[in-house]
Structures are given as structure tokens and as C-alpha cells.
Structure 1
Amino acid sequence: MFPLTEEKKHVARLLLDTGTCPRCIFRFCGVDVHAPYRRPYKEFLNELQKFLKTDKDELLLEITNPPPKKMRLQGLEDGTDSPSRNGEGSNTAPEDESSASKNSSLNVCNVCLGILQEFSEREFIKQVCQKVEASGFEFTNLVFSVSFPPQLSVREHAAWLLVKQEMGKQNLSLERNDIIQLKEAYKWITHPLFSEELGVPVDGKSLFEVSVVFAHPETVEDCHFLGTVCPDCFKPAKNKQVKISTSYYLVIAVKFILFCRQFPCPPNSPKAVCTVLEIECAHGAVFVAGRYNKYSRNLPQTPWIIDGERKLESSVEELISDHLLTEFKAESFNFSSSGREDVDVRTLGNGRPFAVELVNPHRIHFTAREIKELQQKINKSSNKIQVRDLQLVTSRAILPWVAALTLCCDHTPLQDLKIDQKTPLRVLHRRPLAVRSRVIHSMETHYVDEHHFRLHLKTQAGTYIKEFVHGDFGRTKPNIGSLMSVTADILELDVEVSQLWSAHLQIQPE
């Protein structure tokens, strides 16, 4: 059974006669059944033509670039005729049919500009899928996104005004939200084709995205009149050029202007379909977490570059992330950790938790054994660091880090020592000048000789340990020197990360 009702027959015939494609006709007639949209275009057109037989049993034939019919949209203006953008009145004679029907085997839709014609067919989807398969990405599902030319909003509005008036003559109403959105119809058609071609479901929550950007240079000026007629909707940002193509402002503008005075209703039929500017594939970031120990006193946590000059050849970040970057075939990475240590400080104990965000990875599937082998590969590559508990995690596993940073000072016992630390001189070039209050939870000393002792500290995260020992010329108060009334300095510093991190970073031990 054909999904159009008899009462919509007049509207469907009008749209087809003015150059609108069958699928857009269904959209304007409010057909929300998916199956008809998925039929091959030629079959779709034939079925519609049969439905729209005239009383003389003659089929309505789709006209290549049909002459636009200038119509008076009553009730939408103040009683005057509706000139086109070229200033032509409603009595303009139609174009010569022979010149209007030159070249083109496809009659390009005056509303969707070919989106629901050429770019909804299986052949185009196959081309996109070939691009996907050649990209080298691993994926188990995908999200398909499209970017349509902004002038489609103007053209759809013009067609809606026309249909709204025609339906009003039959005492029928057509609100803007009664029309099936172009992207919605496109999704109904293309998603099953993608699933069939690639063998995976189309899922809006997928991290793997296939995007297609369309353009239509022939009608790019369709939107330009909006900047003149409704300048308040297109105020330029500071030091930026006005972008009339912003879809959000298009929607606003068409609601506040006498649209039909500035744009032909129905819209003119174009000569060519849209062009595809780009087809791109991208995968959302994946995260790898673990703990590292640093045994070198000549290794920074991150690349040490001052005034554009590299000071040391490597870093903890690079020794770990370079291997991950290669194995995951990612474009780049972002390294983060639960705190940091100076270049001459070792990190012992259970190790410092870290996470690496791998941007646009092409490989994402790893077995537990492969992750274990990757960890061993990192550890064998250098004796300066060791990695443990390496594992794939979600982005949510990284979120508790901020909460964990403050956990150790939530309940301050009486024996805690509060200190004030002005930004140390050694980091003043990269840290804002401020006084930060920190807490020393406990101190324990072990005698070595008359000039040396080992000091074990438990402190609040973010405490500058070196400065607490030597005072930093009085910028940390109190400090070990002032407490003991001596001149104190630090020779070696090792860090042991608290067990509190284990519970709050969601890194599962081996």
C-alpha cells in the first residue's frame, strides 16, 4: 500500500512538478515509515508517478530543471506579490524548456540538492565504505555523521511556505515540525546500508566516527540575503568576519523576516548535485593506565625543554608513551600522572599512578597477554623506569584523581604541622607567585652520622619537600632548618606514593 493519502496527492503533485525529489515529497507529506525511503531511487520515482496519475491516465514525468513557478503566497505577506531574488514578479514567463533541460540524467531536487538522490544510493555508500576499510582503523561499530550545506535550511523553508499555503486551501495545517528532518530521513536510508556493507551496527555512542561533508557551490549565495535583511541575527564577533552560513542563525533569521519577498517559493532547481568535500574517519581516544617507578636521578617526568633547547635526551613520559603510541598506531598522546617528581628525585614503593590518552588510535583491541607483553617491552627498553599494572581503562577511571588529591588532608589530626610555602624560586618561571598552605602529617628520623640523617615524611599532596628542608631563603615557613635552629640542606630525595592512590585511581593490581 502506497503510504501517501489522497488528501496529500495535490501537494505531492505540486512538489514534483516544481522540481522536488520523491523522498523530499514524502518528508513534506509527513511520511514517517522508514521502508519507502530505502527503496532505490528510480523505483521510488516510478511508484510516485503511478500514484499521481492524472485523470487522463497520463503519468507525470519528472522535468529536468523545471521552470520555477512564481506564486503569490497569500497570508504570508502584506498583500503584495512575491518577487524573486532577481526582482522578477509573479507573472514572469517560464524559461525556454529546451534550455532548461540541457545535460543531466538526474533531475536535481530543488530542496535537498541531491542528498536524498545520488548520495542515498548504495553505490555512494559503497564508496564511503571503501574509504573506511582503507583507513586501517579497528572498530566494532560506528557513528555516521554528515554536514549539509547551510542553504538547505533556506530552501526547505521556502518549500514549506509553499506547501503550507496549498494545504491551507484544503483546510489542512502543516507546522514546521510536521516535516521529517532531512538528516533523519538520510539516517533511515543510509544506516542499514552501512551495517550491511561493513558488517557492524551503526551506534550513536560509538567511538569510531565516519563523517561526510557536503557542499553546493552553485547555490552558495542562497543565504547571503539574510545578512542584509536581518543584520541583528548576524552580528560579527570581535575581530571576526560574519559567517552567514551558521545553521543556528539561519533558523532564527527565517522566523523574523518576510521570507517570501527575498527568496523564490518554490526554490529554483539547480543544475548539479552537491559535491563531497571530504570523507574522514576518526576514533575517539583510548586510555592506558598503570604505575611507574623511576630509579634515575637524571630523568625528568616530562621532556625538559627550556627556551626551545632540550636539556636531557629522554623523560618518563617518552619512555612509556612512545611504545604505546607505536602499538596503538595513534596520532598523538597526552600523559598525566598523580603528581610529579623533580628530575633528581626517584619514585619508589608501589609506583606513581599514570594514564596516557592515545589520540585517534587505529588499533584498539588488545588481549590481556598482549598488554602484559607491552609492559615487558617498556621495562626492557630502559633501566631508568619500570612499569606495573598496565591496563586499558575508561576515561571515567581518570576522573577520581582530582578527588584523591585532596583526600589525605580531609581529617587533620592534632599532630599535623601546617606550613606556608611561597612559590619556590626554582619553579617561579613556570608557576604563579602565591603562598600555598600545606600539611606535614608525620616525620620520622634515622641517624646516619653527626652531619647526616634520613627523614621520612608523610605530607599533603603538592608539598614542596626540598623547600621544606632547606627553607628556600625563608620562603617556606616553618622548615627543618628553622625547627632545628640549624642550616639544613637536602642531598637525595625519594618518593613513595601513598596506598590511598590504589583505591581511588581504579587501577587494578596484577
Structure 2
Amino acid sequence: MNTTNILKKYPLCHRCFGRLYAKLLHTSNYERGKSLKIAKAIELESKLRILMENYNNKLNNKKEENNEELKELENNGIKGLKSEISEIKEQLKYLYKSGLTEIKLMDILEEEISEEIDEKKEENVEPCPWCKNIFDKENLEIISEKVMSLLNDYEYEKFLVGTMLPKSIKQLEKELETPYMESIRQEFNRIMGKILVEKTGKIVDKISPDIVVMINPYNKKIKLQVNPIFIKGRYKKLERGIPQTHWPCRNCKGKGCEKCNYTGKQYPTSVEEIIAEPFMKVFKGADEAFHGAGREDIDVRMLGNGRPFVLQIKEPKIRKADLEKLKEEVNKSGKVEILDLDYGVRKDVVFFKNEPHKKTYLAVVECEEEISDDEISELVNKLENLTINQRTPIRVSHRRADLVRVRKVYKADAKRIDAKTFELTLYCDGGLYIKELISGDEGRTSPSVSELLNKKCICKMLDVLNVHDIENEEN
């Protein structure tokens, strides 16, 4: 589609016309668009003047000729020239109506048309269907002030502007698309970004902004996408009977009922709630999410170096706080203790949730029959570097895929407590269910402690001593 064909269908302003070729010249879209129109207008005007001169010459020749055949030839030539002249005049009108008012209409267009256009010059320049004047200074000022009003509630250092386009504009861009075009959202992002940098003193960050300002410049609607902050650390669970995360009441599904004393919770508190509550108050978040490197059962303590976790604070109004004070606040609970706090990033969540962590457990094993020292010693030897095939345990089969997982015990140690009871320390792969490793879970875990001892055994008590990551791996 050539210049005037585009402008015939869409009377694009200088800025929008230049945006069609944004990748070609290192200048502003406005300058590029106006320059392209001027170049086309010069080409058309010069061609028109030559054609009109030829046209006038032929008219004069026709008047002087007496030969009818020569007159007929002149008539045909005049008609052809008149058609070409008319076509060029039309093209110049498209350029004029798209905002190129420098065209000398009085000189090159028919007088009656010229007078009509010149009387109401501004009214004959058609509104741009693409930008619809969203780049007017007044419009930009109104939008930027609305943005500033919304940003006042938030602490941030880095921001990014995003533009929401109406469907009609998206469709228009598809129709106008050239290999060199940029979307109007790119230009609006760039211009509004510069305005907000000047007004806020903050910086634009395309990689990890604290806040993304989403703007529809056509209806001036604005919404903020406040990116979360991530606090990483390790936690110890010092008491049994506390789940890792908030559990809605099974009976009312969190709505509140007599069974849960109208709290909506299955358990009074959780590791998540104990840690998150003081953080939410300080950071003034809208919501939170707790991500742990695995989880321990409700009746299992998490001791030793603690379990890695990431606390995600959603839509925080405050982004920086004294983490040491927050640690002290959590540790006052006596139920949960946190350590090694630091600010994290989103990829920490993926690492903690997906990275396999080896673990060290301490289990109190109770056997149905008495057990000798030799049997305990032999058990330790058999467990070391032992591969375990473990089908999903019965107790979690309602919420876990039914499959066989292959895990390994690397080291084991044991210490007698009484005739039927002993402590068993295991260093093993993450994801190995220790209670079922001891009991056998009706044959779903093999080999098991019960199988190796040929005695029925159960796990009476269990603690996680260490969750080993790269920095805390067992030698």
C-alpha cells in the first residue's frame, strides 16, 4: 500500500504515519511522518505542474488546428492529461486532509475546491483514526496526574508503563502493519515513561519493576500492577500439631461453622500464619503466599538448620523493612523460629519448590517385639545406600498421584531407648515418606524397616533435623 492509498483509507496524522516506518530512520515518528508526506507532496506537485503545462499547451494547439483528425488526436491527449491531473489532485487532497496543510491548494487545485477548503482550514483536516489525539499535551497531563495520585500510596524505586489498547485500535494496527512499524503502545509507553520519570524521580526498569502502570490512554483508565516482594529464609517448627500452611475447615470449607468455632480453620494456627502476620502488617500487603522446600507432617517438628522458605507478599505498599526486627517478632511465638532472612526473587520460589533437597530425620521406632543390639546394628548396615521403592502412601493417596517413587537412604544410625524402642537417624532423598519406610505401609514401601527386621514396627515420633541444600549438603 503506497503513501496516498494509506492516507485515502486512513487519514493518519504525521506522528502515526511516521510510526509505520519507525524502524527505518533514527528520528521522531512526527518528523519521519511529516517528512515522508512532504516528499510525496513535492513529487506530486512537480508532476502536476508539468502535466498542467502540457494540458494548457494542448488546449492552445487544439484551438489553432483546422484539421479534424489532428483535433481528435488533441482531444484524446487532453482527456488523458485531465485524468492524470485529476488523480494527482485527489492524492494531494488526501495528504492535505491528513494534516499536511503546507500544500499550496490555491495554486494547484480547482479554485472552488480551494476556496471551500481554505475557508475552514482546520475542519478539513480529518481526525487521526489511530492516535485520536492521545498525545495531546492536555491528555498526557491529565493521565500523568491520575497516575501520580495512584502511586502516592506505594513505596517503589522502579516502574514500567504498559499500554492497554481498545480492540478497534488493535484491529486497525493489523490492517496498517508494515515490516517497519511499531505499535502505538510502544510510543505511548516511551513518552509517558519519560513524563513519569520527571515527575517521580524514579527509574524505568523493563526487567524487574516494582510497579507496572497499565494505562488505556483512549479512555484514561489506569490500573497498577504492584509486583510482589519475596522474603527468603529458613524456619524451625518447635512444636508438634502445627501444619505448615493455613488449612480451611474440612466441614465448612473455610466459611466458619460450629466445628471450627467459626474461624474457618481446621487448626488454630500454622507456620505460614505465624510467620506471615507480622510481615503483612509491616509491608501492608493485600495477600501472601508461603512457599516451603517441601513440608513436614503436622505431628513432626522441623529442627536443626531449618527448612528453606519464601514468603511472597502480594501488592505491598511498603517494600523495605528491618528484617531483623521482624525475625525477632516471629521468634517470640515460641512455636516457630526463623533465621537467615533476606530479600529474594521470584526464581527462589521455583528453586525451593522444585529442587530436590536431601534430608536428615530422627525417628523413634517402636517394634511389636523386643529387638536385640545385633538386630539394630544389622539394620543400620542394610539401610546404608539402600534403594527404596515406595508407592504413594495410603494416608496421602487421596491427594497424591498413585505411582511408585524410587528414593535412596544414604546413611543410617541407631540408638536403643528400651527393649522394643530405638532412635533411628536417616540421611536420605527428599520425598521419601519416613513413617511408611518404617511400617512398610502394607507392602507399598519396600524394603522397609519392618521388612528388614522381620518385625512389625511403627514410627512413634519424627523430627526433621536438617534440610540439605547446596550450602548445607551432607559430606
Q: TM-score range by the shorter chain?
A: 0.5 to 0.7
- Over aligned residue pairs, what C-alpha RMSD do you find? 3.6
Residue aligning to 1:199: 201
* 1:419-477 CA-partner distances (Å, limit 9, x unpaired): 22222121122112222222122221112221221111112111111111222223222
- TM-score, structure 2 length as denominator? 0.66
Match of 1:86 in 2: none
Number of residue equivalences? 363
Cα distance in structure 1, aligned partners of 2:163 and 2:302: 48
Map of 1:229-378 to 2, 5 A cutoff?
274-276=218-220, 278-305=221-248, 306-307=250-251, 308=253, 310-366=265-321, 370-378=322-330
Q: How many angstroms does 1:29 deviate by?
A: 7.5
Unpaired segments ≥5 residues, structure 2: 32-95, 109-113, 255-264, 361-381
What secondary structure sits across from 1:450 in the alignment? Answer: coil
What code does the residue aligned with 1:186 have? F
Question: For structure 1, which segment, 299-308 or 312-321, has the greater mean C-alpha deviation from structure 2 after superposition?
Answer: 299-308
Distance verdict in 2 for CA 1:113–1:464, change over 3 Å: same
Given candidates 313, 327, 347, the residue that maps to 1:396 is 347
Native 8 Å contact 2:163 2:188 kept in 1: no
Distance 1:156 1:420 in 2: 58
CA distance 1:494–1:32, change in 2 (3 Å)? same
The structure-2 alpha-carbon separation of the partners of 1:469 and 1:142, relative to structure 1 and needing over 3 Å to count, comes to: same
Measured in 1, the distance between the counterparts of 2:324 and 2:407 equals 39
Give yes or no for contact 1:293–1:350 (8 Å, CA) kept in 2: yes
State the partner residue of 2:35.
none
Give TM-score scaled by structure 1 length.
Answer: 0.62
Measure how far apart 1:393 and its partner are: 1.3
**Counterpart for residue 268 of structure 1:** none
Contact 2:246 2:270 in 1 (8 A): yes
Contact 1:126 1:197 in 2 (8 A): no
* 1:115 alignment counterpart: 134
Q: Aligned ranges for residues 402-481 of structure 1 at < 5 Å? A: 404-405=355-356, 415-481=384-450
Instruction: Find 2:28's aligned residue among 5, 13, 34.
Output: 34
Judged with a 3 Å threshold, the aligned counterparts in structure 2 of structure 1 residues 188 and 358 are, in CA distance, closer, same or farther, namely: closer
1:372 & 1:440 partners in 2: Cα distance?
Answer: 37
What is the DSSP-based 3-state SS (H/G/I as helix, E as strand, rest coil) of the residue aligned with 1:121? Answer: helix
What is the CA distance between 1:148 and its match in structure 2? Answer: 1.5
Q: Are the equivalent residues in 2 in contact too, given 1:16–1:22 (CA < 8 A)?
A: no
- How far does the alpha carbon of each residue in 1:165-214 deviate from its partner, in whole angstroms, 9 at most, with x for none? xxxxxxxxxx8234554234334433322222222233322241000135
Which residue in the other structure is 2:184 paired with? 182
The aligned amino acid for 2:403 is: A
Q: Aligned pair in 2 of structure 1 residues 377, 19: CA closer, same or farther (>3 Å)?
A: same
Counting only pairs closer than 5 Å after superposition, residues 37-186 of structure 1 correspond to structure 2 as: 51-54=102-105, 62-64=121-123, 108-117=127-136, 121-133=140-152, 136-155=153-172, 176-179=178-181, 181-186=183-188
Query: Taking structure 1 as reference, are residues 407 and 193 closer, same or farther at Cα in structure 2, changes over 3 Å only?
Result: same
What is the rounded CA distance, in whole Å, between the counterparts of 1:292 and 1:35 in structure 2?
55
Q: Within 2, Cα distance between the matches of 1:460 and 1:22?
A: 66
Determine if contact 2:357/2:467 at 8 Å carries over to the other structure.
Answer: no
Q: Tell me whether 494-503 or 420-429 shows the greater mean CA deviation.
A: 494-503
Distance in 2, matches of 1:130 and 1:303, equals: 36
* Equivalences for residues 490-509 of structure 1 within 5 A: 490-502=459-471
AA of the residue aligned to 2:193: H
The verdict on how the C-alpha distance between 1:424 and 1:156 changes in structure 2, with shifts beyond 3 A counting, is closer
1:119–1:441 distance in 2 versus 1, CA, 3 Å? farther
Q: State the Cα deviation string for residues 254-289 of structure 1 (Å, max 9, x = none).
A: xxxxxxxxxxxxxxxxxxxx423x311122222111
Alignment of 1:208-247 (within 5 A): 208-213=211-216
Structure 1 residues 287 and 482: alpha-carbon distance in aligned structure 2, compared to 1, 3 A threshold: same
Equivalent residues of 1:144, 1:210 under 8 A apart: yes
The answer on whether the counterparts of 2:383 and 2:411 sit within 8 Å (CA) in structure 1 is no
Amino acid at match of 1:300: P
| SS of equivalent to 1:292 | strand
Q: Percent identity?
A: 26
SS of aligned partner of 2:146 = helix
Q: Give, in whole Å, the separation in 2 of the partners of 1:293 and 1:155.
A: 58
The one-letter code sitting in structure 2 at the alignment partner of 1:322 is E
Q: Secondary structure at the match of 1:185?
A: helix
| Distance in 2 (alpha carbons) for counterparts of 1:407 and 1:294 | 18
SS in 2 for 1:116: coil
Q: How does 1:10-21 map to 2 (within 5 A)?
A: 20-21=12-13
Separation of aligned partners in 1, 2:169 and 2:149: 28
Give 1:147's aligned amino acid: M
Distance 1:497 1:460 in 2: 12
Q: Is the 8 A contact 2:18 2:29 kept in 1?
A: no
CA deviations over 1:101-159 (Å, ceiling 9, x no partner)? xxxxxx742332333347753343223322332xx12221211111112322554577x
Q: 1:376 to 1:17 in 2, by over 3 A?
A: same
Give the Cα–Cα distance (whole angstroms) in 1 for the partners of residues 442 and 10 of structure 2.
84
CA contact (8 A) 1:440 1:458 kept: yes
- Evaluate the alpha carbon distance shift between residue 296 and residue 375 of structure 1 in structure 2; reply closer, same or farther with a 3 A threshold: same
Q: Give the structure with the larger helix fraction.
A: 2
Letter in 2 for 1:384: K
SS in 2 for 1:376: helix
